[in-house]
Amino acid sequence: MSFPETFVWGAAAASYQIEGAVDMDGKGVSTWDVFCQRPGVIWHGHTGGVACDHYHRYEEDVALMAEMGLRGYRLSVSWPRVMPEGTGRINDRGLDFYERLVDRLLASGIEPWITLFHWDFPQALYERGGWLNRDVADWFADYAAVLVSRLSDRVRHWMTLNEPQVFIGMGHRDGTHAPGIRLTPRELLRAAHHTLLAHGQAVRAIRAAARQPCAVGCAPVGQVTIPDGESPAEVAEARRLTFEMREPTLWTNTWWMDPIFFGRYPEDGLAAFGRDVPEVRDEDLRTIQQPLDFFGMNSYMGYLASSRLRHKAADDGWPPGHPRTACNWPVTPAILYWGPRFFHERYGLPIVITENGVSCRDWVSLDGAVHDPMRIDFIARHLRCLHRAVSEQIPVWGYFYWSIMDNFEWAEGYKERFGLVHVDSRTLERRLKDSGHWYRQVIATHGRVALE
C-alpha cells in the first residue's frame, strides 16, 4: 500500500510567519507589521519582526527540506517586499530574495509552490481602503503580473489567496488579526466580493504573464462535515451540511467557492445575507470564475454531522475527551477523506492538501532530540484517510504539511509549534524533530511507513 510515485510530498510556510527582516532591503510596511505593534493583540507581545530569520537563513532551511526529501515547498511572497507601496514601484532587492530561494529549492530537487498572498497586506494600500476599495483587484493583479513575469520561467505552481475566510473574518470582522478592524456585515461582504474579484483578475494576470504552462489554484479553508456513518443517507446529510449556508456568516465554503467555480453566489447564502449582499456588476462573476487547475484545501479540523446540528457558538460539538491538539483543535483525520471526496465531487478538480498539521508543546529533551510522537500519530492518521481517497480514484496531487518549521502563529505568537523542524526562538537554532525524521521515511517509501 502506498501513494502514487508522482504524489507531491510537501511542507508549507508563509512569508510573515518565517522571514523576519521586515524592514530590510527596501521592504515596505505590511498591515501585520503595524498590527503587531498594537498592545495586547498578540500573545505576550510577540511580533514577526525576526520570526525564524528565514530571510537570512533560507539556505540552511532548504538544506533541511532536502534532508527530508521534500518534493514540494509551499511558500508565500510578501507583497510589500516586492512592491513597497503595494502598487507602482518594484523593489528589485525583494524580488532577488525570492529568486535566490526558488533557485536554491530547484537545485535541491524541491518544486516551489507559490502563494501570492498569505495575509501580509501592504499598509500603504490599507490606507487607501484596502479590501474595501474595489481597485484592490487591479492592484493585486498588477502585483501578480510582476511576480509571475520574474519567476515563471522556473515556477509552475501558483496559488492566489490563502484562506480568505480567515483574513476577512478574523482581520476585518473579529479584529483579532491584521488589520484588526470590525466592519459592518455589509462592508464585510463588499470586502469579500473584492477579494473574489482580486482572485479572478490575478488568475488572468498569472496566465497572461506565465512563461510556461503552469497550474493555478487557490487555498481556501476547506470546512468539512464528517458523516456519522457511511449509509447513503448519512453521507448525503454530511455533504449537504458541508455546502449549506443557513447562517449569515462568511465562515463557509460556498460563499467563496461557488463564485469561483460556478460563477454565482449560492442561493441560500444570498437569502441568509439578505440586504447586506454587495453590489455585483455585470462582468464581475465572469471575472471571478476563471478556470483553475487544482483545488487547494487547507484543513485542520472538521465537524461531525450530528454534533454540528447541535453545536452552539464557542463549542465545536465534539464530546468531552475527544482528542485535541495543543491549541485545542479537535483531531479529526476523516476530513482528509471526506474533504477531497466532497470538494472533488462538487467542483470537479484535482485536490491538493495545501495545509494540514498539528501544534504540540514540543521541547528539546535531555538527549538533545525533539520527541513529538503525537505529531507522527496525527500525520499518519490523516495520511491513512487521504490514502483512502486516493485508492477510490479521487485525484489528489499532494500533501503539504503545515509547517516546515515552528514559526510566528499570528495572534498566538510563538506559543504554537506546528513545525517538523524545531526552532529555538532565542537562538534561532534549527533541529529536525522526530516527526521530521519520520516524514523523511514516509516520503522515501511513498507513504508506506505511515500506512502500515
CA 357/CA 318 separation, integer angstroms: 19
Q: Is there binding between residue 14 and ligand FCB (CB under 6 A)?
A: yes
Candidates 66-74, 150-158, 160-168, 372-380 — which segment interacts with ligand FCB by CB under 6 A?
A: 160-168
Closest approach, Cβ 298 to ligand FCB, in A, equals 6
Candidates 134-142, 180-188, 197-205, 402-410 — which segment interacts with ligand FCB by CB under 6 A?
A: 402-410
Q: Is there binding between residue 120 and ligand FCB (CB under 6 A)?
A: no
Residue (131 or 401) nearer to ligand FCB, CB: 401
> Taking the mean position of all CA atoms in its chain, how far away is CA 427?
27
Selected from 163, 316, 362, 434, the binder of ligand FCB by CB under 6 A is 163
In what side-by-side order are the strands of the sheet with 295-298?
A: 215-219, 157-162, 111-117, 72-76, 8-12, 396-402, 351-356, 295-298
Secondary structure (3-state) at 343 = helix
- Degrees to nearest 5, angle at CA 146 with 143 and 152: 120
Q: Is there binding between residue 402 and ligand FCB (CB under 6 A)?
A: yes
Q: CA Rg, the chain, in Å? A: 21
CA 26/CA 48 separation, integer angstroms: 17
Q: Is there binding between residue 114 and ligand FCB (CB under 6 A)?
A: no
Q: Is there binding between residue 123 and ligand FCB (CB under 6 A)?
A: no
60 is catalytic: no
Closest approach, Cβ 216 to ligand FCB, in A, equals 19
244 is catalytic: no
Closest approach, Cβ 411 to ligand FCB, in A, equals 10
Q: Please list every residue from 16 through 45 that binds ligand FCB, using CB under 6 A.
A: 17
Selected from 61, 111, 120, 355, the binder of ligand FCB by CB under 6 A is 355
Q: Which of 370, 352, 366 is nearest to 406 (CA)?
A: 370
Exactly one of 19, 111, 237, 355 is catalytic; name it: 355
Number of amino acids touching ligand FCB (CB under 6 A):
11
Cis peptide before 403 (omega within 30 of 0): yes
Residue (224 or 390) nearer to ligand FCB, CB: 224
Helix, strand, coil distribution of the chain in percent, nearest 5: 45, 15, 45
CA 185/CA 230 separation, integer angstroms: 37
Q: Is there binding between residue 362 and ligand FCB (CB under 6 A)?
A: no
Stretch (H or E) spanning 50: none
Residue (201 or 223) nearer to ligand FCB, CB: 223
Selected from 87, 115, 162, 223, the binder of ligand FCB by CB under 6 A is 162
> Taking the mean position of all CA atoms in its chain, how far away is CA 281?
29
Catalytic residue positions, numbered: 163, 355
- The contact set with ligand FCB (CB under 6 A) reads 14, 17, 162-163, 166, 298, 355, 402, 409-410, 418
